[in-house]
Structure 1
Amino acid sequence: MTNGVSEDDILTTHELFERSPKQPDLAAENQVLRSLGQQLIKPPHIILKHFAEIARELCQAGAAGVSLVEVTPDGEEVFRWVALSGTYEPFQGNTTPRNFSPCGSCLDQKNAQLYSHPERYFTCLQSLTPPPVEMLMVPLLLADRNLGTIWVVTHEPQRQFDREDARVLASLTEFLAVALSSAQARQIAEERQEALRESEARFQTLVTNMPGMVYRYNGNTESFTYVSSCCRKLFELEPEAILEDANALWTLVHPDDSQSLKDSIAAAIRDFLPWQWEGRIITPSGQFKWIQGSSSSEETSEGAVWDGLLFDISDRKQTEEALRDQKARLHLILESAKDYAIFTLDLKGRITSWNAGAKRLLGYEEAEIVGESGRIIFTPEDSALGEHERELQIAFTQGRKENERWHVRKDRSRFWGSGLVMPLRDEDNSVRGFVKIMQDKTIQRQSEEALRQSESRLQLALLEREQLLAHEQAAREEAEAANRIKDEFLAVLSHELRSPLNPILGWIGLLRNGRLNAAKTAYALETIERNARLQTQLIEDLLDISRILRGKLTFNRVPVNLAAIISAALETVRLAAEAKSIDLQFTILAFGSDSGQFSASIKADQPPNQPNPGTQNSIFLVLGDSARLQQVVWNLLSNAIKFTPNRGKVEVRLTQIESDRSESERNISSPAAPTYAQIQVSDTGKGIPADFLPHVFEHFRQADSTTTRQFGGLGLGLAIARQLVELHGGTIQVESPGEDQGATFTVRLPLFRDEREAASNEMTNLFRSPLPSLLSGVRILLVDDEADARDLISFILKGSGAEVSTVGSASEALEVFRQTKVDVLVSDIGMPDMDGYMLMQQIRAMPEGERISAIAVTAYAGEVNQQQVLAAGFQQHIAKPIEPVELVQAIARLKNAVGR
């Protein structure tokens, strides 16, 4: 079924018998048959074309055609439209499939078929224009052979076929089948006659071009019944002379070879075997020729006949004689060359001759080596690689092959042989074999090897000198690079020192004036304390910046509130903004919620103690390092303020954005959800030239009067910001309409979702508890040789509910450990007599020390020190100065892990 239409829907054959038939026009039909009879002597394609035109005229159709079954090279049956008349004539030669076409259905039914708009079902007809309204088709059969179909088509609805049309087509089809069969038989007969003539012509051409005389000889009558014209050139005799008298040929045989000819003929006739003979003749002009004859017998009604060939082999005989002479001369030369191994090989690489020099050099007698493969003198490793065969192949194709390699004597000793292989050619320039000439070069090679070793030692010395110079150059470059890194490091250090000092000194100045109220004073002290704490992280900050330059930065990743981060950074730059009367604004925009969007704006002159107007800042949580994120925001803000003129504007916008999703994901049951936090810092400053925008975030790149200048002009700030953002899984971009049109920096960071951190919910809930309850009942042994540090840490731990035992040395710690049950060991590393590493190793060696939790608290904060701490047996490393919350949470995490 095609497009809901079946074959039954288009098949209307029954209507042929329901419609009123038109009156038969027998006179016209007879006239048509007479005209067809006149066409029978013509080729089949003309008969078929004439038949299609007659069918269209008799049936008053728009188109008519003959389709014949044809088999493709792939074995598939198709219908070829061999003859068309009328509107479809341009489609002549097209094909339709056998298994899905009206022609195929008609042949299968072997009856006339009528179709109405057949293209509705048979898609192969949809390309016909104009489309068929009705198609009447009858099978073309001959003795149950499916030849094809004949069909007529009407394009007008008022012209309908009836059973008279079907009868006319059937009558014409019977006549056509016979006519087509007769024409095809006649064509086949003509083709066979032509093939026979061509075969005879080819035979005569072949015989004429043969290099000898082709013949047929009757043994019973001892006469030739056929000889080719080549006898004139070969024997200087006419074919008729030989056919008339065979002795005209036999008398030319050389007297010395006459008896061998008679004997060979008698033996062949007697034993009924193929005949072979070689001998000489003397032509009527007196030429001597070598003749080779061969024939095979066949028994016929006339008796035994012999078909054969006689041809001239004089050139071959002369070549063979020349080769024999050449071989004799070569043998004489070979035997006289005592200092050279000279031997010959055949085309298969087998040794055929062996001179005295070869015997002396290789140790083989000629009798024992002739017939052996030439690879016998090659080393096993070269034989495995096919070097012998490769040598001959190159000599064959290129005319010679020179080489030097190790060879093997009969006693298996080795020598260095220098050899030359050349092909041996006959007078026809055909290669008949090879000759190899070889000389012992062992002593010469040893001398050359000694010279090469001497040269190699000299080259090695020169190379070592060059490498030494290169190492020195590299060392100088490394020193210069180290100086550059030092300068970069000092610039970053200056940046880190100055940034937090700005709000500290500013608020201290305001406090000294004594004009701040209580709220402002508390806010000032809070700001000073926060920035002072940033100062205590100086060593860790310096290590982090060093790691940035080396690509080894690590983070303390915790959930961080970006709103708080931005607020803290704003406090850092607020005084600088006020000094230039810059309008500093902070706007928070939430994504979308049940209550709709909300926004909050904080201006530069907003009182410090005023609460943040954004009531949902917790939705801006990201997973990252708060100090590094604050550094990113500070870099962007200070950059904006620096290059914004007085009374300009700097705006920070914090919002949520949705990550890209496919259309299939955007449906009513899956509403959009924010997945990124976006920070935008915009200013009305000098802007950035378009040609410099691609280089804004590169190390040490700067452009005069742009926002890329940082750290006293080194151009590090934006590069560091980019690295920090990317290490947080985010992106940073910059846009600027052009110079004096400001710039906008956009930072996108992935939001932190509690449901995405289900694995850490238990620990998160634990750390939300008040610190005094975290270490309740935990027995801690604290080891530190500095009393102040020991007292501080003890106070912190006891305040969190822990039971703390304190000692000032490693030896005291071992004594307490043996006498007291301890859950957690907190130890310094640098201590006199015995350091923390040795203490940890001795504790781990005790049975009760295998499962104890241990934390190292030390001022050694380098990456290598952290690795040493973990290797010694500690589970965690905390650098001084200590954050109380960090220490308490670290101990709680260890105890929680052990408890599970």
Structure 2
Amino acid sequence: MDSQKLAEAPDADASIISPWLAARRQHFDELVGGVTDYAIFMMSPEGIILDWNSGAEELKGYTAKEIVGQHFSRFYSEEDKTARFPDHELIVASAEGRFATEGWRYRKDGTRFWANVTITAIRSDAGVEGFLKITRDLTKRQQATEALRQSEERFRLLIESVADYAIFMLDPEGNVMSWNTGAHRIKGYEPEEIIGQHFSRFYPEEARLEGVPAILLERALTEGRAEDEGWRVRKDGTRFWGNVIITAVHDAAGIHRGFVKITRDLTDRRNREQIELASKRKDTFLATLAHELRNPLAPILPGVDVLLKAPHQTGRVVQVASMLRRQVDQMSRLIDDLLDLSRVTTGKIALQRDRIQLVDVVQRSVETAQPAIDAKHHRLALNLPGVPVILDADLHRLSQAVSNLLTNAAKYTPAGGEIELTVELAEGDRLLIHIKDTGIGIPAESLETIFDLFDQGTRGSSDGLGIGLTLVQTIARMHGGSIGAFSDGEGRGTEMILDLPVVASVGDAPEDELAPPVSTPSSRALRVLVADDAPNTADILCMFFELEGMHTRVAYDGLQAVESATAFRPDLVCLDLGMPQLDGFEAARRIRESQPGVVIIALSGWGSESDHARTKEAGFDFHLVKPVKPEDLRQILASRFPQKG
């Protein structure tokens, strides 16, 4: 039954309808007359039915002529009427503004249905003028509690006195025509501020650029209704997660008159869902971590056993030693990933910005990723600008981000694939780094979550902890940039685009800031003091330096280190920071007092930017994170003692 038929329906006794309510019935008829999913009708303060919509006739079986003027208790069982439930509902609605319930109701033919019922008091300055009753048949969902809850959330109709939903009319072009209490509460606009404005202002800029508002109106017009969930924008600029239903409204002649739009704030629900999703990802991450830590450990113990049983079989010793080194390197990378994970989740990643050249970033990144690229026989193509490009960036972190992208491309591309790194100078002093592969691609549903922590998409991973892309996104944002993932689908490759700001100048690369080499006598071997309260670590490090042709001395606490330094007069000192007697900081201070020119290296399991800054302030020349890599030690020796290289 549409609004014209409502107007033709027999009226109840005019004496029971207040002039205030009678004056507003026409607007009510226009809004709900064509709604068929709900039974919606108005009642007098005593519960007498005043009008009847199409949904009410379809749901309850009565025509307007049969039911208008009757008491609404006709829909209740005899038991409910004896218990005076209908009267109770009106009393509660009058006192509290609304009454909501679910229960059995009866149709004209005697059959019953499970109804969701809302009775809302209609008030004027004089008091309660009547009631609005909304009923929906939820029989099929009675036993599905969650589905029932969602149905209530999605389809409960709100009008001016209902504050839980934003419900308002749009004209055919999408301009706001009316505004209710719920709309004011959820979106923050006063009626005079928003009526006449286009409803697209409730959408974020990215949704407007994609044409989402127009798409939803077109769908509602062609299909009768459109539903959507996503971020919406309040007057103050804050966002909320909204569930939206848009229904096209036509008059008796079939002419399109506009739309009814219903919005509910579901931010709390979405936050709960996000927490649950994060928990599932964390569980997956922990399981992956346990697996990845066991893998490099598995061959180590058998390898040690082989060394102990066959120490003189040089070929076998070299083979086992190479294997042990690979496994230790893998564990070291896993530990680095864990440290980066901790920094991401606690927000403790800090940048050491400097003016750097793009070519240095690319060179470092390619060097890091080259083993993974070569292992699968990929072809890597580089397309760089013809002029030097200067960035205000952290060379280490930015190189880490690009190398992560290159390594991912190598990992997820079948053997013999192609990887292309292209750098583009864009408008607005922006730099775009494209990394494109011919790999397995990314499904469309995974593109939006691929950068989330603990999310490895649907591609899985043969190694690693799957936090690389999260780290890349964090580094990009800290540099004032962004990262985007693009793929035409599974089996069609992937393109990652890193967008960064460029310093508005082009010139020479920054000068090398390494400290000048310390001169040492060339007529003798270097003296190295190693101090660590873990004897195995100290002894094996001494063995390394001895194999490099140096004289060594070992100490197992800080006090021994100071005493040994006084007697031994070392050129290089390696100090663990957490030793007993004296910690590494105090030992370094005392050694530096007596030997100002000695080179001191801090050895630590901690490697954050703040840890490096602390050792630098304490007078250490270098900071190496355990397990110490031989190539790092050799690099320090080459830079500080070149004549001994």
TM-score (norm 1): 0.29
TM-score (normalised: structure 2): 0.39
* Structure whose alpha-carbon radius of gyration is higher: 1
